[in-house]
Amino acid sequence: MRPLGKSTSRDRPVRRFVQLQLGLVAYGVSMALMISAGLGLDPWDVLHQGLSEVTGLRFGWVVNIVGALVLLAWIPLRQRPGVGTVSNVLVIGPVAEAALALLPEPRHLAVRIAMLVAGVLLNGVATGLYIGARLGPGPRDGLMTGFVARRAGRSIRVVRTAIEVTVLAVGWLLGGTVGVGTALYALAIGPLAHVFIPLCTVPPRPAPVAAPRSAAEPAASPC
């Protein structure tokens, strides 16, 4: 996988910002597709849906609130948010809510399966777009990397699994939808991210190469 590279404020800022927003919009739509399918959600959306059921708040608002609360947890972990982190909190929830209002309620199982598969695929593309923009991780990704960074040798796989199993269990207890879609997402998102993150990563601009000095040109004085 190609490294994401170090980001700077002058390194293709417009392209990266536009790609970030497209990725976040696509992520919100992918969430709405999986919710509308009603066949199971990814762990964090199981939590969001469960909290929405318990509190009576709309799904999009819950996504925003949970994202903000997770972002607060970055403080003791000494994580620094980027533009992408803040945009993640602000954009995904409202887009998911708008998409849910526009999507028809599927009646046939074949349509629900198609919506689920489309949602998982779009989620993989969206992940590649917003991470590939190199403008900061989402709050939930930063929570994982923050826990890993606090103790040398801690496995990313173990930490991510522990977080997502906990989130999934709490969401299920609150009434979130767990089903075949949950299993499909768990199996597919890793390979999809592996494909789309390198494809969508905006490479850093190469460092300018100094023009060769003419042999007749005197060398610069060390003083």
> Region 205-215: what's the mean pLDDT?
59
Determine the pLDDT at residue 156. Answer: 65
Q: Assign 222 a pLDDT band (cuts: 50, 70, 90).
A: very low
Q: Assign 12 a pLDDT band (cuts: 50, 70, 90).
A: confident
Determine the pLDDT at residue 211. Answer: 54
Domain extent listing, the chain: 13-200
> Residue 44 CA to chain centroid, in angstroms?
11
- Has residue 9 got a pLDDT over 50? no
Determine the pLDDT at residue 59. Answer: 94
Per residue in 158-199, pLDDT (tens digit) is 777 888 889 999 999 999 999 999 999 988 988 888 889 889
Determine the pLDDT at residue 17. Answer: 95
Contacts 24+ apart (CB under 8 A), 168-174: 168/43, 168/46, 168/47, 170/47, 170/50, 171/43, 171/44, 171/45, 171/46, 171/47, 171/48, 171/49, 171/50, 171/51, 172/46, 172/50, 173/50, 174/47, 174/50, 174/51, 174/53, 174/54
Distance CA 128, CA 56 (A): 32
Per residue in 130-145, pLDDT (tens digit) is 988 989 888 887 777 7
Of the chain, the end-to-end C-alpha distance in Å amounts to 45
Determine the pLDDT at residue 208. Answer: 62
Determine the pLDDT at residue 25. Answer: 97
Residue (of 189, 158, 165) closest to 43 by Cα position: 165
Per residue in 58-77, pLDDT (tens digit) is 999 999 999 999 888 888 77
The answer to whether 179 and 40 are in contact (CB under 8 A) is: yes
- Has residue 220 got a pLDDT over 60? no
- Has residue 215 got a pLDDT over 80? no
